[in-house]
Amino acid sequence: MKPLAPISAGARVVLGAGFFVLFVLAWGAATWSGWVPPLFLASPERTLRAGWSLLTEFGFAGDIAITIWRVFGGFAIAAVLGVPLGLMMGAFKPVEAFFEPFISFARYLPASAFIPLLILWAGVGEAQKLSVIFIGSFFQVVMMVAVIAGATRMDLVEAAYTLGARAGGVVKRVIIPSAAPQVMETLRLVLGWAWTYVIVAELIGATSGIGHMIMDSQRLLDTGQMIFGIVVIGVIGLVTDFLFKALNRRLFPWAVL
């Protein structure tokens, strides 16, 4: 191996799958040997049986669907509002000076701390769940996009002015195309954080969703169902991650990410 040396796509798939295989084998060894009691950690096959029971008997597919809707709904609102503001902050220093102190302050506030207030303001319905995801995602998106836009190469900006572009043209034809690949990468990362916020929101005052199922399983001491719910979140996140990467490569083939 050499530092930063690329590897083939096939080797990447084999190595990535290999880690999952080793992980499941270690998990199985810990449970099959009796080293960890089933009360604390269900075995892989028990987890699969619990998952099949959830899907066929308890309507878990509906919980998965509502959680996905909540994640993408709250995340989409945060992205639609956060990306333009971040681009404006990165492009125009007065806008950055006006918004950055508050954005920097707000992005350190844990979204979970707002749950009691949001329940008071919006109840325990969908508005509360979407608001938690929005709060957890919006300020991160704004700050990260602002940093990306602000790092646009000045020689490109100066060349645009030399060719007669105005401020709006520089933003449209230089800053946005330059920042777009990294902005997409930022959205991919923040989407992963959005999943943590939705599960926290569903742990309190929810009647549906993956987080609600995990809490119900905890009351029943069913670690198989709890682990299956966590695995489902990871699988969905992995699929969306790959889709984001594929979309990024399709939209911006010149960018090396």
Do residues 179 and 87 make contact, with C-beta atoms less than 8 angstroms apart?
Answer: yes
**CA 183 to CA 160: how far, in whole Å?**
21
User: Quick one: tokens of 93?
Assistant: 């220093």
**CA 234 to CA 169: how far, in whole Å?**
42
pLDDT at 257 over 70: no
Residue 4's identity, in one-letter code, is L
User: Quick one: tokens of 176?
Assistant: 């946005």
Q: Which CATH number belongs to the domain containing residue 217 in this structure?
A: 1.10.3720.10
For residue 149, is it within any domain?
A: yes
Q: What is the pLDDT of residues 185-208, one digit of tens each?
A: 999 999 988 988 888 888 776 788
Rounded to 10°, the helix 210-219/60-91 angle is: 130
pLDDT at 218 over 60: yes
State the residue range of the domain holding 84.
55-251
pLDDT at 201: 83
**CA 200 to CA 196: how far, in whole Å?**
6
pLDDT at 65 over 90: yes
In angstroms, the first-to-last Cα distance of the chain is: 20
Of the pLDDT bands very low, low, confident and very high (cuts 50, 70, 90), residue 252 is confident
Q: How many structural domains does the chain have?
A: 1
For residue 7, is it within any domain?
A: no
| Mean pLDDT, rounded, for 166-184 | 89
For residue 225, is it within any domain?
A: yes
For residue 191, is it within any domain?
A: yes
- Residue predicted with more confidence, 55 or 166: 55
Q: How many helices (H) and strands (E) does the chain have?
A: 11, 0
pLDDT at 153: 87
Of 90, 93, 181, 196, residue with least CA distance to 135: 196
Task: Scan for tokens 């959205």, then name that residue.
Answer: 187
Helix runs in the chain, H state only: 9-32, 44-57, 60-91, 93-106, 115-122, 126-150, 154-162, 167-170, 176-203, 210-219, 223-251
Give me the chain's average pLDDT, please.
Answer: 89
Q: What is the pLDDT of residues 103-158, one digit of tens each?
A: 999 999 888 888 888 888 888 788 988 999 999 999 999 999 999 999 988 888 88
pLDDT at 112: 84
For residue 146, is it within any domain?
A: yes
Which residues, at least 6 apart from 253, have a Cβ–Cβ distance to it below 8 Å?
A: none
Backbone angles phi, psi at 58, to 5 degrees: -120, 10
For residue 166, is it within any domain?
A: yes
| Mean pLDDT, rounded, for 33-52 | 91
Of the pLDDT bands very low, low, confident and very high (cuts 50, 70, 90), residue 256 is low
DSSP 8-state code for residue 114: G
In the chain, the percentage of residues whose pLDDT exceeds 90 is 52
Of 212, 232, 236, 223, residue with least CA distance to 50: 223
For residue 72, is it within any domain?
A: yes
For residue 134, is it within any domain?
A: yes
DSSP 8-state code for residue 152: S
Which helix (H) or strand (E) element contains residue 36? Answer: none
